[in-house]
Amino acid sequence: MKRPELLVTPTQISDIVPLMDNGADAFIIGEQKFGLRLAGEFNRDDVEKVVELAHSRNKKVYVAVNAIFHNEKIDELTDYIAFLKEVQVDALVYGDPAVLMIAKEVAPELKLHWNAETIGTNWYTCNYWGRKGAKRAVLAREISMDAVIETKEHAEVEIEVQVHGMTTMFQSKRSLLGHYFQYQDKQEEMEEHQKDKNLFLHDKERENKYPIFEDENGTHIMSPNDICIIDELQEMIDAEIDAFKIDGVLKDSAYIIAVTGLYNKAIEMYLDNPDQYDEEKDNLLSEIESIQPANRSLDTGFFFKETVY
């Protein structure tokens, strides 16, 4: 059985070594000018340092270039991709065909991972982008486990699935919060809330709190719960899903490092002894529950349900 790549989104350079120590095989980094909803901001110097650290231990670095691009950013995009080629990142994560076209011009040897968020729902679409040059497709978080397995069976590209962390419910290109706080003359208050990761949209009817944050790409409203399927990995490992992603957005370093270690333990345990994994998986889930923020419940996302409200 093949080990799935354990892919993590770190918050800062100092996360890289402890994440590798805890089993991370690859990292997604970038800067918000080019990438959507990043766990941390990594400028060009940072990218170069992360590549050096990761490659010294045969780990991989993928850079998110999956923002929504307008005409005025195209020249910057060309230069940025040329830089990523120069520092030898392992792949670009993209959703916009403009990125693919520019990458083919300036860095044709760079691997491409297609990630267009919610539209990665079938193997035809995955294979379409594979035939255009992508080596990997990232599946939507809104499809069932059966659909994930079926897609992998027919895929001509690598398949990546998010197994842990929050998901996006809404994005607007507009700075909705920024404009509101500016209107209230409370810009400093917003900055403090953002720093503390403490901005929420409160749904009184369902008693849910939806985290909100803003970056250069606009306003993002996130799910009230975190996906966690550390106790449901067996089907995807058996199906040889290529990469399991832990999304660290709006989480601190200690949490991401601990969760990475637990998922690595779960993967290794299943590969070595499936019966032991079956016996211990509830304990692994309990360990994550013990470090989970009080306002963030865990659930299995859409892996075992297909309805939304």
Question: Using one digit for the tens of pLDDT, what is the confidence trace for 116-135?
Answer: 888 899 999 999 999 999 99
- By C-alpha distance, which of 293, 212, 211, 214 is closest to 252? 293
For residue 52, give both structure tokens: 């050096």
- By C-alpha distance, which of 60, 239, 246 is closest to 155? 239
Per-residue pLDDT band for 171 (boundaries 50, 70, 90) equals low
- By C-alpha distance, which of 128, 127, 73 is closest to 102? 73
Give tens-digit pLDDT for 223-232: 778 999 999 9
Task: Name the strand (E) or helix (H) holding 60.
Answer: strand 60-64
Mean pLDDT for 25-39 is 93
Mean pLDDT for 97-120 is 94
How high is the pLDDT of residue 168? Answer: 72
Cβ proximity of 103 and 112 under 8 Å: yes
Residues 6+ apart with CB under 8 A from 100: 94, 112, 132, 133, 134
Mean pLDDT for 76-102 is 97
For residue 68, give both structure tokens: 């929504």
Q: ∠ CA(117), CA(120), CA(126), 5° rounding? A: 130
pLDDT for 307 beyond 50: no
More confident residue, 41 or 167: 41
Give tens-digit pLDDT for 238-277: 999 999 999 998 899 999 999 999 999 999 999 999 999 9
More confident residue, 237 or 182: 237
How high is the pLDDT of residue 211? Answer: 72
Q: ∠ CA(102), CA(108), CA(109), 5° rounding? A: 140
Mean pLDDT for 73-82 is 93
How high is the pLDDT of residue 295? Answer: 80
How high is the pLDDT of residue 178? Answer: 52
Per-residue pLDDT band for 222 (boundaries 50, 70, 90) equals low
Cα gap 164→121, rounded to integer Å:
18
Mean pLDDT for 60-76 is 92
Mean pLDDT for 21-44 is 95
Residues 6+ apart with CB under 8 A from 191: none
Per-residue pLDDT band for 169 (boundaries 50, 70, 90) equals low
Mean pLDDT for 84-111 is 97
Q: DSSP character for 127?
A: H
How high is the pLDDT of residue 175? Answer: 62
Domains for the chain: give ranges and CATH numbers: 5-166+227-299 (3.20.20.70), 170-221 (no CATH)
Mean pLDDT for 101-124 is 94
Mean pLDDT for 55-70 is 95
Task: Name the strand (E) or helix (H) holding 145.
Answer: helix 145-154
| Phi, psi values for residue 276, rounded to 5° | -65, -40
pLDDT for 30 beyond 60: yes
More confident residue, 157 or 293: 157
pLDDT above 70 as % of the chain: 84
How high is the pLDDT of residue 180? Answer: 46
